[in-house]
Structure 1
Amino acid sequence: MNTLIQYMKRNYKLVLATLVLSLGLFAFTTALKPKGDPEKDKMLLELLTFVIERGHYDPAVIDDQFSKGIYKDYIEALDPSKRFFIQSDIDEFAKYETQLDDQIKNKDLSFFNLTYERLMKRIDESKSFYKDILAQPFDYSVKEEFNTDYEKLPYAKNATELKDKWRKQIKLSTLSSLTDKLKMQEDLKNGIKPEEKSKEKTTEKKAEEKPEAPKSFEQLEKETRESSLKSLNEYFDFIGDLDQNDWFSVYVNAIATRFDPHTNYFPPDEKERFDVSMSGKLEGIGARLQKKNDYTEISELISGGPAWRGKELEAGDIIIKVAQGNAEPVEVVGMHLDDVVKKIKGPKGTEVRLTVKKVDGTIKIISIIRDIVEIEETYAKSSVVEKNGIKYGIIYLPKFYIDFENNDSRDAGKDVAIEVDRLKKEGVQGIIMDLRDNGGGSLKTVVDIAGLFIEDGPVVQIKSAGRKQEVLYDRDKKIQWDGPLVVMQNSFSASASEIFAAAIQDYRRGIVIGSKQSYGKGTVQNVIDLNQFVRGSSVGDLGALKTTTQKFYRINGGSTQLEGVSSDVAIPDRYAYLKMGERDIDNAMPWDKIEPAQFKFWDKQNNFDVAIDKSKRRVLENPKFKLIDENAQWIDQRNKENVYSLNIDQFKAEQKAIEEKSKKYKSIADYKNSLAFSSLAEEKELMKTDASLKEKRERWHESLSKDIYVEEAINILDDLQPKTLDKKEVKIKKDKLVKS
């Protein structure tokens, strides 16, 4: 126990887990050895509870209620689409629903062994289902439908009913592909050319391409079945490669994540990937993925990466298929996340084509040329824009980065200070701190950056279990920027970025704008190597545990947990009605409040409240924001529609209706704010010799010029300027003085 406490004292500040890492609940490893090791598994269970119960901020009681949570999460993780287990299996498993707490304490593996063996049996039986189904053409004239709301659907009563569920699921997939092929062929008949598969292709390659001859309905139908068969064969091959250790990791994570959503077990290989991710260098298309039931979803695009540059892929898109260049696409629905990532990754310069379901329900094929995403794109950067003859600056900070092990490495606190100095040299009269999609980072850098905008004082409060709160202060009285300030956030701004926004808001130092509220993660995690507790053990690498060790609070005493930070000016966005925050996770830690810290309000911005009121009125009256809000409501509605017709005519009509409706919102993406953004002097010099940097900044500036939210932030900076009276107002003032 003392070793654990000492370890945590040394390392608690090294990791504040980011949103991207915290959203993925379950992870597999690659095969370790053919069979599981019961002694290792028992040791892992013992270590898991030992470390969490002594190190977690507020460990849940391991009782019957806790057992029910594990049971639910674990069964869902094993079979999220309910296409393996039947109701009799669930009835048998349910006997253990309130016994798992006792099994954990007694290192009893009987429930895991039962579910693992049954799952292997059901997977083996399912192999014959899809092969039989795909051996014959589908009859798309039959009027039937399929519900994809797996969470609410019952399990199949028997093997016959389960096979029919497989049939409908596969039929929906092939129907989607078939209608795409038919539409493409119809477009070619009408002289409508398909979009270029890749802007990167050479002229020679384009010259080699020949238009395909029209195919019959029967040929296209057969192609979709062959493609689906290939995808499912690969899926089952992948499952066959998983061993008992992989599935045991799922069980262990079902236990770990019941303590809170950000407590995770990292098997050895997963811990290695975690370490690589912390280095900040990514390879591939530059997108982070997460699992949602049976689907792979884009959770974030990395600034500067190929996907970000292409501007077609976006957060919330569901990846349905992956193709290598011109090869036949492979369906990835139901495939494990690691395997999807492997298919998307590849050597620099090669093409990958993703078939994605957009957030509005439309299906699109997106071609991306793979590249290396340099860590440079995760660093702070700034730009200058001019409005009404006044210059303003914007600093984009994707995360609060720091390397505690290397003092010479990049540090967000130092980098933002440099950007502020450069903006001052440019003569800006207001600064925007853009923290949208910022998943967090180091609390130290939060304090350092907040200190650039306040004289001195508290920035954040931290509380560990059983201890009084600790206040982290900015003790430097120097103010690097005392002018107008706006902080931009959205529903993906989490953790450390919420602390910065909260501090600026509590001081009334700047105006926070964006989504109604930020993500709502108010906890600190620590990664603990489990091998340190069993030195000399012969069971091999035990991996690591990321566990919640602290909570942080605003200086006004309120927590950001669940509630996040409410924007001073809430602006509609397309994700406004989707459940994507901490508050939407069933076992998230609760909101609470502690004593406020002593601090003084900023009193140098006289027209603070006036600027907020003006902005609210503009947002309310702006037709584009009204359209964005309407689009958000439509996306939410589409997200709840899970029943699809398997009749081709009806399916086509439904898809056409969706496409027609989505056209109404096309103008949102086409918006241009008519503002011109430019790089700072130092960067312009670098761009003379760095073509890559020049391209990245040009693309960033182009996206800013189409950003309606940045435009409103600049409007607020304009309203915060010291008021200059025009001639008419001066005359009125003089008249009043004369009368008095």
Structure 2
Amino acid sequence: MHKIIKFMRRNYKIIIPIILLAGILFGFQIKKINDQNEEDRLKIGLIRLILERYHYEPHRIDNDFSIALYDNFITNLDPSKRYFTQEDVDEFSMYKTHLDDQIKNEDLSFYKLVYSRYKQRVSEAKEYYKDILANPFDFSKNETLDLDYENAPFGKGKDGVYKIWEKQLKASALASLYDKEEIQKAKEKDGEEFKKKSFTDLEKEAREDVQKNMERFYELWGDIDDAQWFSTYLNSMTAVFDPHTNYFTPKNKERFDVDMSGTFEGIGARLSKEGDYTKVVELISGGPAWRDGKLEVGDIILKVGQSNEEPIDIVGMRLDNAIEYIKGKKGTEVRLTVKKIDGSINVIPIIRDEVELEETFAKSSTVEKGGNLYGLIKLPKFYIDFKEKEARTAATDMKQEVENLKAQGVKGLIIDLRNNGGGSLSTAIDIAGLFIDKGPVVQVKYRGRDADVKSDKSNKIIWDGPLVILVNELSASASEILAAAMQDYKRAVIVGSKQTFGKGTVQTLTSLNDLYKYPKPLGDLKITIQKFYRINGGSTQLRGVSSDIVIPDRYEYMEIGEREQENPLPWDMIEKATYSIWNGYENYENVIKESQKEINANTYFNLINENAKWLKQIQDDNTAYLNYDVYKKDIEKRDEEGKKFDGIKDFKTDLVFKSPTYELPLIAVDSLLEKKRKVWHKNLAEDVYVDEALKVLEKLKVKSPKLVQN
């Protein structure tokens, strides 16, 4: 099976401070809650009321809603159609137009039927894969597997499902077998000494690999509790409203908070489950475990004790539960009983502390080109910690990075927002204020109300030199707000993909427990309550931000962006805000025109564009060949076609990127940070988009002696 490029459709987040939902429970009553069913009913009732009253564009709870919820839930549980039978689906379909009534009545009948059947079918499939993988596959048969699961039929009865499993497992084993054969051929070609294995032996190993993967799947599946499965049902419901309205279980809410803030309290280790054991797979640079130096990657954690308390055996414990014992408040002690790689058993005490996820935060680099020094700031997301007012944010870090680079004498700045999925709206506004005088940055609109113009309150410009912003198809939400504002003011030149992601909606987060007093945590709802509008009046929804200078990229024709999501809100316009274009450049329009002309005539970029079209063809090919010879020929055909594009990956420059001076003392005492920066700097020197951004910076000329104020 040739490789098909898949894209995870992310839920890009823009969070604003929680709005008051006063009076939401007026007239809302529920029976005494005394079991899990009643708790789940409460969640349904609360979420329905919030959605109906506060969603920006509420969906009627009617038959259309019912059909969409039905389709979402079945697909979310069984996307590859390897569990449910056609008979199951026929039975479920009796509810297809009645789920609106069930939601209104907090009725769990459909959910309980489908969920119980799902658990049954997944349990049965455990025997299917063991039985199928016990015997060699016949790769001489001319068979194919259609990877378009969305339009594929369900299997008829258990026999039909079994046949689906046969083909899917055969496809996985064939891919593994081919790779093993290719590795052997490469070793032979290099003259490496090794014991060559027969096709039969390699085929057996391939099946064993697939079996191990399935066993890992079932381990993870066993770790998912009932609350997580019910959240799948709730999110099948919220997805009918729009793709960014989501329910979070209490555990998922904790992960979301860490994702937004970039910090958490604990020992600073990433853990995984291997069989019955909890294994250390990474130590986070700068974290307490990393500083202590006794815990190592590969260690197996057997027991967890809190200070002087009796330790708890976590062997066989679910990973989520084990993590709950290991993490804890800053300043508290955890004592880990670990099995080292050499087999010895040690007790390692660690004082928990705040851990920063370094890859979350802004970082900068300098580069000399044409006798001038330029700065580049990479911003992975617009982070903020709503709980800690004094915590670092994307805005405070960006200001610091800009001031540091300015002190080094850089002549121009690049802000790299590629793959930045968004985050805090307030930080985007504050960052825009670093580059413009006081004025509007974005317009935000509630349903049925006039737009609220959000402005930068500071009249101090931190950077008044040339500015380029790099974007791509995965620059979303707050990234689009910043890029759009800089474009509307003509303050920066936007360089990158044809358009950004196109997420122009605002979400707020509210705890269900704030709305209904209940002794157990009920989770949180992230709900779309507003839309973004540029200061020029246009929405960023669906259309995103079009780059001033468009550079072809390999994913230009792929199905990426808000427009490819299910149930996105539409694009529209409102009145423009009052603002004055920043006219501090001498040659703004000419630079854009000349640069675009050069790119259009560039044979390298034309090759990237051709490659993008080719990748789209591969993505659209849903046929996987299960005959080994045909599979091999298909791979060889793709490889031969791909040679045409080999030159793309050979791009590199002689540019030397360096860490800013303030970071050098940190690198001197942190070998891991040094290694990370070396890799990043090497990648920057081989990044054609960064190279083009630097060329634009070289051309941009700022008027002197002072900028023209807004």
Give TM-score, length-normalised by structure 2. Answer: 0.80
The 3 A distance-change label for structure 1 pair 247 and 410 is closer
Match of 2:501 in 1: 519
Match of 1:386 among 368, 383, 398: 368
- 1:249 positional shift: 2.0
The 3 A distance-change label for structure 1 pair 592 and 152 is same
Q: Distance in 1 between matches of 2:701 and 2:64?
A: 56
Instruction: State yes or no: 1:174 paired with 2:168.
Output: no
Match of 2:55 in 1: 56
Instruction: State yes or no: 1:95 paired with 2:94.
Output: yes
Match of 2:379 in 1: 397
The 3 A distance-change label for structure 1 pair 434 and 124 is closer
Q: Distance in 2 between matches of 1:242 and 1:407?
A: 34
- 1:254 positional shift: 0.4
Contact 1:12 1:549 survives alignment (8 Å) = no
Match of 1:416 in 2: 398
The 3 A distance-change label for structure 1 pair 584 and 349 is farther
Match of 1:594 in 2: 574
Secondary structure of 1:664 counterpart: helix
Secondary structure of 2:423 counterpart: coil
Structure 1 residues 342-391: Cα deviation after superposition (integer angstroms, max 9, x where no partner): 9xxxx99999xxxxxxxxxxxxxxxxxxxx99533322222222222222
Match of 1:474 in 2: 456
Contact 1:557 1:596 survives alignment (8 Å) = yes
Instruction: State yes or no: 1:528 paired with 2:510.
Output: yes
Amino acid paired to 1:600: S
Secondary structure of 2:569 counterpart: coil
Instruction: State yes or no: 1:266 paired with 2:269.
Output: no
Instruction: State yes or no: 1:431 paired with 2:430.
Output: no
Secondary structure of 1:382 counterpart: strand
- 1:607 positional shift: 0.9
Match of 1:13 in 2: 16
Q: Distance in 1 between matches of 2:601 and 2:136?
A: 54
Q: Distance in 2 between matches of 1:350 and 1:673?
A: 44
Match of 1:45 in 2: 44
Amino acid paired to 1:39: E
Q: Distance in 1 between matches of 2:395 and 2:446?
A: 25
Q: Distance in 2 between matches of 1:100 and 1:90?
A: 15
- 1:568 positional shift: 0.7
Instruction: State yes or no: 1:107 paired with 2:102.
Output: no
Give TM-score, length-normalised by structure 1. Answer: 0.77
Identity across the alignment (%): 48
Instruction: State yes or no: 1:223 paired with 2:205.
Output: yes
Match of 1:446 in 2: 428
**Structure 1 residues 89-98 or 699-708, which shifts more?**
89-98
The 3 A distance-change label for structure 1 pair 471 and 178 is same
The 3 A distance-change label for structure 1 pair 420 and 349 is farther
Structure 1 residues 537-566: Cα deviation after superposition (integer angstroms, max 9, x where no partner): 46x331111111222211111111111111
RMSD of the alignment, in Å? 3.4
The 3 A distance-change label for structure 1 pair 36 and 258 is farther
Contact 1:286 1:373 survives alignment (8 Å) = no
Match of 1:188 in 2: 187
Q: Distance in 2 between matches of 1:169 and 1:393?
A: 49
Q: Distance in 1 between matches of 2:397 and 2:222?
A: 48
Secondary structure of 2:152 counterpart: coil
Contact 2:381 2:420 survives alignment (8 Å) = yes
Q: Distance in 1 between matches of 2:649 and 2:339?
A: 28
Secondary structure of 2:570 counterpart: coil
Structure 1 residues 413-441: Cα deviation after superposition (integer angstroms, max 9, x where no partner): 23222222232333222221211111212
The 3 A distance-change label for structure 1 pair 599 and 304 is farther
Instruction: State yes or no: 1:459 paired with 2:462.
Output: no
Match of 2:482 among 479, 500, 503: 500
- 1:53 positional shift: 2.0
The 3 A distance-change label for structure 1 pair 448 and 534 is closer
Contact 1:562 1:591 survives alignment (8 Å) = yes
- 1:238 positional shift: 4.5
Instruction: State yes or no: 1:76 paired with 2:75.
Output: yes
Q: Distance in 2 between matches of 1:185 and 1:350?
A: 33
- 1:694 positional shift: 3.1
Q: Distance in 2 between matches of 1:213 and 1:718?
A: 57
Contact 1:491 1:519 survives alignment (8 Å) = yes
Amino acid paired to 2:479: S
Contact 1:420 1:480 survives alignment (8 Å) = yes
Contact 1:507 1:601 survives alignment (8 Å) = yes
Contact 1:15 1:442 survives alignment (8 Å) = no
Structure 1 residues 681-716: Cα deviation after superposition (integer angstroms, max 9, x where no partner): 323344344433333333222211111111111111
Match of 1:578 among 558, 564, 567: 558
Secondary structure of 2:151 counterpart: coil
- 1:465 positional shift: 2.5
Match of 1:610 in 2: 590
Match of 1:656 among 624, 632, 636: 636
Contact 1:175 1:648 survives alignment (8 Å) = yes
Q: Distance in 1 between matches of 2:134 and 2:15?
A: 57
Q: Distance in 2 between matches of 1:569 and 1:551?
A: 26
Match of 1:547 among 520, 527, 540: 527
Contact 1:304 1:696 survives alignment (8 Å) = no
Match of 2:619 in 1: 639
Amino acid paired to 1:633: K
Q: Distance in 2 between matches of 1:269 and 1:379?
A: 23
Structure 1 residues 215-236: Cα deviation after superposition (integer angstroms, max 9, x where no partner): 2222222222233334334434
**Structure 1 residues 420-429 or 613-622, which shifts more?**
420-429
The 3 A distance-change label for structure 1 pair 604 and 541 is closer
Match of 1:198 in 2: none
- 1:477 positional shift: 2.5
The 3 A distance-change label for structure 1 pair 545 and 139 is same
Match of 1:164 in 2: 163
- 1:491 positional shift: 0.8
The 3 A distance-change label for structure 1 pair 478 and 167 is same
Secondary structure of 2:568 counterpart: coil
Contact 2:465 2:702 survives alignment (8 Å) = no
Secondary structure of 2:475 counterpart: coil
Contact 1:520 1:560 survives alignment (8 Å) = yes
Structure 1 residues 193-235: Cα deviation after superposition (integer angstroms, max 9, x where no partner): 5xxxxxxxxxxxxxxxxx6522222222222223333433443
Q: Distance in 2 between matches of 1:533 and 1:491?
A: 38
Instruction: State yes or no: 1:275 paired with 2:257.
Output: yes
The 3 A distance-change label for structure 1 pair 558 and 681 is same
Secondary structure of 2:207 counterpart: helix
Structure 1 residues 298-348: Cα deviation after superposition (integer angstroms, max 9, x where no partner): xxxxx999xxxxxxxxxxxxxxxxxx99xxxxxxxxxxxx99xx9xxxx99
Structure 1 residues 552-589: Cα deviation after superposition (integer angstroms, max 9, x where no partner): 21111111111111111111111111112011112011
Q: Distance in 2 between matches of 1:380 and 1:15?
A: 26
Q: Distance in 2 between matches of 1:386 and 1:243?
A: 54
Q: Distance in 1 between matches of 2:699 and 2:340?
A: 49
- 1:77 positional shift: 0.8
Q: Distance in 2 between matches of 1:680 and 1:245?
A: 47
**Structure 1 residues 83-92 or 595-604, which shifts more?**
83-92
- 1:36 positional shift: 7.8
Amino acid paired to 1:416: M
The number of aligned residues is 612
The unaligned stretches of length 5 or more in structure 1 are 1-10, 17-34, 194-210, 288-302, 306-323, 326-337, 352-371, 725-740
Match of 1:509 among 465, 470, 491: 491
Q: Distance in 2 between matches of 1:286 and 1:552?
A: 38
Q: Distance in 2 between matches of 1:192 and 1:112?
A: 59
Instruction: State yes or no: 1:127 paired with 2:107.
Output: no
Secondary structure of 1:665 counterpart: helix
Q: Distance in 1 between matches of 2:563 and 2:480?
A: 15
- 1:649 positional shift: 1.2
Secondary structure of 1:401 counterpart: coil
Q: Distance in 2 between matches of 1:595 and 1:304?
A: 48
TM alignment of 1:688-707, pairs within 5 A: 688-707=668-687
